[in-house]
Chains A and B, each alone.
Chain A
Amino acid sequence: MELDFGPAVRDFRDELRDWLADHLTGEFAAHRGVGGPTDGEAWEVRLAWDRELSNGGWLGVGWPKEYGGRGLGLLEEIVFEYEYARANAPYRATGNALDLLGPMLLKMGGEEQKKRFLPPILAVEELWGQGFSEPGAGSDLASVRTRAERDGDQWVVSGQKVWTSFGIHADWLYVLARTDPDSVRHKGLTMLLLPTDQPGVEIRPIRNLAGQDEFAEVFLSDARTGADMIVGEVGQGWRTAMATLGIERGTTLLPQQLTFEREAEALIDLARERGALDDPMLRRRIIDAWISVRIMRTTNLRTLAELTAGRTPGAQSTTAKLYASTRHQQLGHLAQELAGPAGQIVGEDYGLDMRQRSFLLSLAETIYGGSSEIQRNIIGEQVLGLPKEPRP
């Protein structure tokens, strides 16, 4: 099934297809499909690729022109993501700022902030890291303990953040901090923009189970930022954060699903090569893997169609993440099983092939952006209207 939104969008799509075909060459072509939200593979090449995209005017397709975007609509953004994934281009190194911070500023930021921060994002001049999670606040962001106090025309921030994707590359962080020391839960939190290039900020890499250093923990000791560096209002950081996470859930599934489709095709090729298609038990799992990715595709199309029709997306937009993340793990297990003993051998310096990397990183998909358990709570309480658990 092809996405088709009429002639104007078709022209946009064709222009993009041509551009991608012309530019995804040389070293970029060698890194097709590299990367993911937790994968810092081939960082320098990907950064260079992001600059190439920026020069072509392809970053911020839906952002207003005054901030360096193309000023196009949601349709074009969707088509961009779709074609981008279809071309198997590298996962964007600036993804965090493009997918999360940018939309958050566009939605809730002040005019000065938009002018100051959005153009450098699109020019790949400043990289951003997300400072939400803490050692004691993973899924339960309401228990954030990082504190921020007002000192004249500055905020002074202290605390510890963790699981900051691409944090070691970040020039700026957007940080959820408690600005009212007596507040509890999600009241009294504020969203702050904080430069990393100062003595009060220390960023240490955390090695993930795939052997990569792309997570970071961030230590803040009296780190400083301007009084005007809050997004939304003081004490309203929870609202800002939730709006951001809502954006994240909406935009990541489409490119992801195309990657999964590719993996399913590769899985079938591998099974054919190894004669596994004749094994009834494996055969069934292979067919089910194909069914899963095809269902993900239709589910995303349903949501996209609703969004573009100006309708509120149905329950499938909430269940899609849980379905995709659990089924992708199953696909990874099956691919590893089909690869057999050869799948157990890695390259020098724990160098993983695409299949191994995707399999290991899939273990994070049921955790980041809200773990499967949190997803089930959200579905149960917000979609099905079941009573909340008693909270102290």
Chain B
Amino acid sequence: MDLTFSQEQDELRKVVRSFLAKHSDEAAVRRLAAEPLGHDPVLWRRMAGELGLQGLAIPEEYGGHGFGYVDLGIVFEEAGRALLCGPYFATVALAAEALLRCDDEQARRDLLPGIASGETVATLALTEDSGRWDEQGIRLTGRTTADGPRLTGTKTYVPDGHLADLVLVAARTPGGISLFAVDGDAAGLVRTALPTLDQTRKQARLDFTDTPARLIGSQDTAWPALERTLATASVLLAAEQVGGAAAALDAAVDYAKIRVQYGRPIGSFQGIKHKCADMLVEIEAARSAAYAGLWALDADDDTETPVAAALAQAFCSEAFTKVAGDNIQVHGGIGFTWEHPAHLYFKRAKSSEVLLGTPSYHRELLATRLGI
């Protein structure tokens, strides 16, 4: 196992960072955050066409580039740093993963190439009104009819569910949990965008009424694959959180170098210097937590991955929130304004904290997986 980044990986980071610095700068983030859609189809196509980011870790046989999770983690870290707006997490970390983890070769061949090429925006609809991320939280029902499967019920807090072309839906079927694919414009599907505290990542409510669907994998057996999907997404979200936290620290440090009070830069006062140092300590610990998850994913380690994933979410969520909050503090009054970007990171941190389940939930997942 290689625990350092290769030169190629350093290069990938550089390329993605400079691309996002250009196309997901503060102006672009603010513009997309203010729109209900929150998605720039031109940027999306360039991400796929020029850099192949949507298909980076999708195997070549499904139209992707066959890179590993460490590589994908680098992209998520950079996406977090740039507060990338749009359905990248929903499409790549959730939907593509769910397809890869489910035992359905035909569905992979049918659906993954569109994701890899940037043609398809996709998401995974799992949570309902209870906001639960576990098997018990799934109430929406799937039933078999003469015309194929039909779904009835409600999903909510679905990341980018308002615009996804393809929605993978976790549903309760007579013997367990099954996964279905639904077209974004299917009959009997009503999509409502939800106004979000964090405007940089949109959510939607999806009401299904006898909606036609396609069964992915075999019926009643989807939960283990969904659990693996969530573990992978947890690690990728952790990488995104690390990137966001690093950007918040950079902003704090830049400001502490130039803001003068009592005749000297505030960064020369231990009160500020030590706060910034503590932010970095937290970020490097979070980085370790996220990287351990990426290594476990690339090693295909079924024992280590669920542990590392729960640990990464439990830790990185809180680290990002803490660092993003400290960034506002270092900036003082200016950091509390709408005009300053500090709040964008803080709100992203707060929403990411619950995106795949709260830190407490992940602590319990970890404890259960460890037998504590």
Pair B280/A315 contact, Cβ less than 8 Å: yes
CB contacts (< 8 Å) of B124 on chain A: these are none
CB distance from A196 to the nearest CB of B (A): 38
Quick check: which of B173-181, B203-211, B287-295 contacts chain A, the rest being far away? B287-295
| B 246-267 to A, binary, CB cutoff 8 A, 1 in contact else 0 | 0001000100110000001101
Q: Contacts A385-B257, A387-B257; is A316 near B1 (CB within 8 Å)?
A: no
> Which chain B residue has the least Cβ–Cβ distance from A383?
B280
Answer yes or no: A376 CB below 8 A from chain B CBs: yes
A245-274 interface bits toward B, Cβ cutoff 8 Å, 1 = contact, 0 = none: 000000000000000000000001000000
Contact A387 B4 (CB under 8 A): no
Q: How many A-B residue pairs have CB under 8 A?
A: 124
Tell whether B100 is near chain A: CB-to-CB under 8 Å.
Answer: no
Give 1 or 0 for each of A358-392: 1 = CB within 8 Å of chain B CB. Answer: 00000000000000010111011101111111100
Chain A proximity of B320: nearest CB distance (Å)? 15
Inter-subunit contact B366/A291 (CB<8 Å): yes
- Would A316 and B276 be within 8 Å (CB), given that A284-B363, A305-B2 are in contact? no
Tell me the B278-320 residues at the A interface (CB within 8 Å): 278, 280-281, 284-285, 287-289, 291-292, 295, 304, 311, 314-315
- Say whether A294 faces chain B, with CB atoms less than 8 Å apart: yes
**Contact between A1 and B284 (Cβ–Cβ < 8 Å)?**
no
From the candidates B249, B269, B288, B372, name the one contacting A302 in the complex (CB within 8 A): B288
Interface string of B217-256 (1 = CB under 8 A from A): 0000000000000000000000000000000010001001
Q: Is the CB of B370 within 8 A of A295?
A: no
Answer yes or no: A287 CB below 8 A from chain B CBs. yes
Shortest Cβ gap from A28 to chain B (Å): 32
B268 pairs with A386, CB closer than 8 A? yes
A323:B281 contact, CB within 8 angstroms: yes
Q: Which of B4, B264, B288 contacts A299 (CB 8 A)?
A: B288
Among A268, A295, A322, find the residue whose CB has the most chain B CB atoms closer than 10 A: A295
Q: How many residues of B contact A (CB 8 A)?
A: 40
Judge whether B27 is part of the interface by a CB distance below 8 angstroms. no
| Min distance, Cβ A361 to any Cβ of chain B, angstroms | 22
Tell me whether B280 and A384 are in contact (CB under 8 A).
Answer: yes
* Residues of B close to A283: CB separation below 8 A: 367, 372
Contact B273 A302 (CB under 8 A): no
Q: Is A4 in the interface zone, CB < 8 Å from B?
A: yes
Once bound together, how far apart are the Cα atoms of A72 and B370, in whole Å?
38
Q: A390 contacts which chain B residues (CB < 8 A)?
A: 264, 268
Name which residue of chain B comes closest to A314, CB basis: B284
Chain A residues with CB under 8 A of B288: 295, 298-299, 302, 316
Contact between B295 and A1, CB atoms less than 8 A apart: yes
CB distance from B73 to the nearest CB of A (A): 13
A383 and B274 CA atoms in complex are apart in Å by 12
B277 touches A311 (CB 8 A): no
Given known pairs A291-B311, A316-B288, A380-B273, the reply for A386 and B267 (CB within 8 Å) is yes
Q: In the bound complex, how far is the Cα of B273 from the Cα of A309, in angstroms? A: 32
> In the bound complex, how far is the Cα of B314 from the Cα of A315, in angstroms?
22
Contact across chains for B280 and A387 when beta carbons are under 8 A apart: no
Task: Give chain A nearest CB distance to B70 CB in angstroms.
Answer: 12
Contacts A294-B292, A388-B268 given; does A323 touch B284 at CB 8 Å: yes
**CB of A208 closer than 8 Å to a CB of B:** no
A117 at interface by CB-CB < 8 Å: no
Among A290, A301, A376, the residue within 8 A (CB) of B274 is A376
Given A294-B292, A381-B273, residue A305 in contact with residue B267 (CB < 8 A): no
A261 to B278, CA, bound (A): 23
Distance from A375 Cβ to chain B, minimum over Cβ atoms (Å): 7
Mask: chain A, 34-71; 1 = CB below 8 Å from B; 0 = not: 00000000000000000000000000000000000000
**Pairs A-B, 3 closest by C-beta atoms:** A305-B3, A380-B273, A386-B267
Residues of B within 8 A of A (CB): 1-4, 249, 253, 256-257, 264-265, 267-270, 272-274, 276-278, 280-281, 284-285, 287-289, 291-292, 295, 304, 311, 314-315, 360, 363, 366-367, 370, 372
30 contacts between A and B (CB under 8 A): A1-B292, A1-B304, A284-B360, A284-B363, A286-B372, A287-B363, A290-B366, A295-B285, A295-B315, A299-B284, A301-B3, A305-B3, A309-B4, A315-B284, A316-B287, A319-B284, A319-B285, A323-B284, A373-B270, A373-B274, A376-B270, A376-B278, A383-B277, A384-B253, A384-B276, A385-B253, A386-B265, A387-B267, A389-B268, A390-B268
